Chains A and B, each alone.
Chain A
Amino acid sequence: MRVPALKGICLYLPAFRIEKGLIASQYMQRARGTRTFRWFDEDECTMAIEASMGVVEGTGVDTIGCVIYAAEKGPYRRKSTASVIADVLGLSTDTLTVDITGSERVSAEGLLVAKRICEATGQEVLVTGGFCEHGEPGSDEDIHGGDAGWAMVVGEGGGIVLEEFWVARANVFVKWERGEDTYFLPDGFTVPFELLPTAAAILNRAIEKSGASKVVIGTSSNRLPSQLKRKLGDRNITLFHHDSTTTGVLGSASLPFAMADAVEKCEPGESIVMLAPGDGALAITAKSSDPDNVKIVRINAENPVVFDLYGLYRKIVTYSFEEADTSPIAYWRDAQRIFQLRGGKCGNCGKVFYPYSDLCPSCGFTPVRETVPLSREGRVFTYTTDHITPSPIGKVTHAVVELEGGGRIFVQMTDSLEEMVEIGAPVKLVIRRIHSGGGIENYGWKARMVK
């Protein structure tokens, strides 16, 4: 009997925040705290990738047999996002990739499927997702939404064992969005009353069965946990949920964010119930065997850049790369070279170069057969800040980066409003949308400064 358990959680927040009050004040409203927002080259997929690379950093990807992308939505309506993620991680083409989309409880659904796959095959499963919410200007989503990515690894030998689940299905339009909607439009029709009794009922059952003392609620709302608390009677339960004060509401990403907090406070032997609301609710019970054995990584949790310009913020989150042109065929042909951070290694001069080519760009030797993995860490060899390259901030810094352990890469810098980088400055490579020409998201490598 295999025992699927949580081995790691990585939480990714974009580097940028904006005061909710600043947005609200444009529309004669008030709000407090900050919200996160994605940089113009980020989307649900790249944020999931940031978190995925974070959760496997140090341990590698050799044991991962399946990637599940679980989020309300992805960059494409009809294309696998998990496959993009698996490509970037360099997983073999027989790795199972699964996309799950739907309501806010989708992250819990992903976790549940991961548990089943692990039980059936013994393979480690990477579950990941991204959440972006901006809505139309002045909407609740514009003011109170948030952007984030997350990733969890489920496999044997983890610290928190996933046990049973309960579901209460209800076809509820609490939040919805049709494919053709430009913005999420929650006008008029919401059914907030259905949720509470449904969720409370399965939560009570899950607590009774597991004897849990901690409940993780997959929500960024402060109201739902306090309402649920009242329904739990006089049980001694600690409730965890994601506090949206600094990040904004994170939708399905709320569950992993809250779960990380609970795991950090968890004692061995303690049980946890994860409750994810959304079209009814889904509850999963988990038993802590060795909570220290769950790796928790947080990216950009500290020292965010706080924007004080609403117009620029909107420009960034709605930016489209109109001037770009490309071919999905050319992109497909080069997908391996683009995604996988592997360089060619010349059989003649020994130089390592990127992108791979069977002809060495340094000495002209061919055929170059060997490829080697490249590091995501490096230092700026030279750079320029180019004010002609199209971007919503009016400039793009391009850098030649010398990678640790050899190889050079020529990339755009990202996550910065600053003009300058310095020669010798440390940077880290990340996957971003280079542009959206040709009707596709042209993901590729960029670099951000290491603070």
Chain B
Amino acid sequence: MKEVYVIGAGCTPFGDLHTRDAVAMAREASFQALEDAGVDISDIDIFYVGSVRSVTSGSFLGNALGVRNKPVTRVENFCASGMDAVRQAAIAVMSGQARIALAVGVEKLRDATRRGLGFRSFHPVFVFGATPPGLFALAANRYMHTYGIGRETLAKVAVKNHRNGAKNPLAHFRKEITVETVLKAPIVAYPFGVFDCSPVTDGASAVVIASRDVAEGLGKAQVFIRGFGLAVMHTEPMYDPSFKYTGFPVTTEAAGQAYKMADISRPLEEISFAEVHDCFTMTEILNYEDLGFAEKGEGWKLIEEGVTELEGKFPVNPSGGLKSFGHPIGATGARMIFEVYSQLTGRCGERQVKNAHTGLAHNIGGPGTVSTVMILSLRS
């Protein structure tokens, strides 16, 4: 398989971007990425835009970037949309169809005034009224019941990610919090309080991917895409009578694909750090197990023992994660690649992971419906 490189990445600040619409955000992130890569918009052969609800079609990039007469595809895969866009761009370059590709993820959520994302009904009555926090809370309650952990353990995930995010100039919430703050916050969907949930955020992030030849020509052949995977299952896992609610098999499947491609068998030793999908505190703990960082039922020990702290043996979400960086749904996956690329190229200042050579990024979308994993490494 052809080696492909991340040669540039860009990201808007995440937060309440009331002065910018989706077009402006996508433009800002994309041109930042192009500048970082040292290429012109006219050099891009193919475009992918990931978004869950802010973009209707590929022509969006006609507006945002002035793209004319080139292939643009809108990618939608729940919370994995942004990383799937990056994955599509990588595949396009690997196939030889494109020499340079741009993937941008964007989401405009803060134009709405209501709390959270509300709920969307896919059917007149089935699963009616279920919300994202509620669906993940089903797993949280089952896990807590099965393995006997309390809300305090979940809270430590939020505390860690806020501590990291406070060091991140682009993060939505740059403020450290305490376990007590998390536990005392109003309940959103039990056991999740406000601080167990990632925020509703605006933002965009973009990644430029190039073939080895192009990357070497630009002197940018530093960080290559070592492996990726994507797995999708039934949209409503709660219809599956064998679904255990103590983990998400799609993550294990997507990670398995990526590890195989990257030739990784001991992730905790072979990977330096990870950006995982902490849409809710519980999700991060489930991710530890599903990604193979811990045995089933023991992921919570990593947070209790400080293993995944920025200074720990295996930092997870040095960016602040969805929890503190923010979660503009379709942008998040691209933002993770932006973070992993920034870490591997040593640009992360206060939140820099020391001696990072390999980073993993992971999304889970829907309540266990879809997952993407991507692994980037420094060229040795």
Contact = CB atoms under 8 A, between A and B. Distances in A.
Contact of B189 (A351, A388, A434): A388
The winner among A355, A386, A408, A435 for most chain B CB atoms within 10 A is: A386
20 contacts: A324-B121, A334-B123, A361-B236, A362-B242, A381-B245, A384-B190, A386-B129, A386-B131, A386-B134, A386-B189, A388-B131, A390-B129, A400-B245, A410-B127, A412-B128, A423-B141, A438-B124, A442-B125, A443-B125, A444-B124
Contact of B125 (A331, A352, A353): A331
Contacts of B187: 385, 387, 419
Nearest to B117: A388
A126 B95 CA distance: 68
Interface string B244-263: 01000000000000000000
Contacts of A444: 124-126, 128
B125 A398 contact: no
Given A352-B241, A354-B239, A386-B129, 6 more contacts: A324-B128, A338-B126, A385-B190, A389-B131, A408-B238, A420-B190
A65 interface: no
Nearest to B188: A387
A159 B320 CA distance: 72
A426 to B, nearest CB: 16
A207 interface: no
A361 B240 contact: yes
B245 A398 contact: no
A353 B241 contact: yes
Interface of B: 115-116, 118-119, 121, 123-131, 133-135, 137-142, 145, 186-191, 234, 236, 238-242, 245
A435 B130 CA distance: 13
Nearest to A438: B124
Contact of B124 (A330, A349, A385, A410): A330
B124 A326 contact: yes
Contacts of B135: 384
A383 B238 CA distance: 11
B126 A355 contact: yes
Contacts of B138: 382-384, 398, 400
A442 B125 CA distance: 7
A92 interface: no
Interface residues of A, number: 46
A208 interface: no
Interface string A418-451: 0110010000000000110110001110000000
| Nearest 7 interchain pairs by C-beta | A384-B137, A444-B125, A386-B134, A382-B142, A326-B124, A410-B238, A389-B129
A389 B238 CA distance: 17
Interface of chain B: mostly helix, strand, loop or mixed: loop
Interface string A392-412: 000010101000001110101
Given A351-B241, A398-B129, A331 B190 contact: no
Interface of A: 323-327, 330-331, 334, 338, 349, 351-355, 357, 361-362, 381-390, 396, 398, 400, 406-408, 410, 412, 419-420, 423, 434-435, 437-438, 442-444
A398 B135 CA distance: 9
A323 B120 CA distance: 10
A331 B125 CA distance: 8
Contacts of A325: 121
A360 to B, nearest CB: 9
A400 B139 CA distance: 10
Contacts of B186: 387
A330 B239 CA distance: 19
A284 to B, nearest CB: 39
A355 B239 contact: yes
A434 B131 contact: no
A334 B123 CA distance: 9
A389 B119 contact: yes
Given A362-B241, A381-B142, A400-B238, A386 B130 contact: yes
Contacts of A361: 234, 236, 239-241
Contacts of A407: 241
A398 B123 contact: no
A388 B194 CA distance: 11
A323 B119 CA distance: 10
Nearest to A433: B125
Contact of B119 (A326, A382, A388, A400): A388
A353 B137 contact: no
Nearest to B141: A382
A383 B131 CA distance: 13
Nearest to B237: A361
B129 A412 contact: yes
A398 B119 CA distance: 13
B199 to A, nearest CB: 14
Contacts of A357: 239
A327 B151 CA distance: 40
Contacts of B189: 384-388
B129 A396 contact: yes
A355 B238 CA distance: 10
Contacts of A381: 142, 245
The winner among A338, A384, A388, A443 for most chain B CB atoms within 10 A is: A384
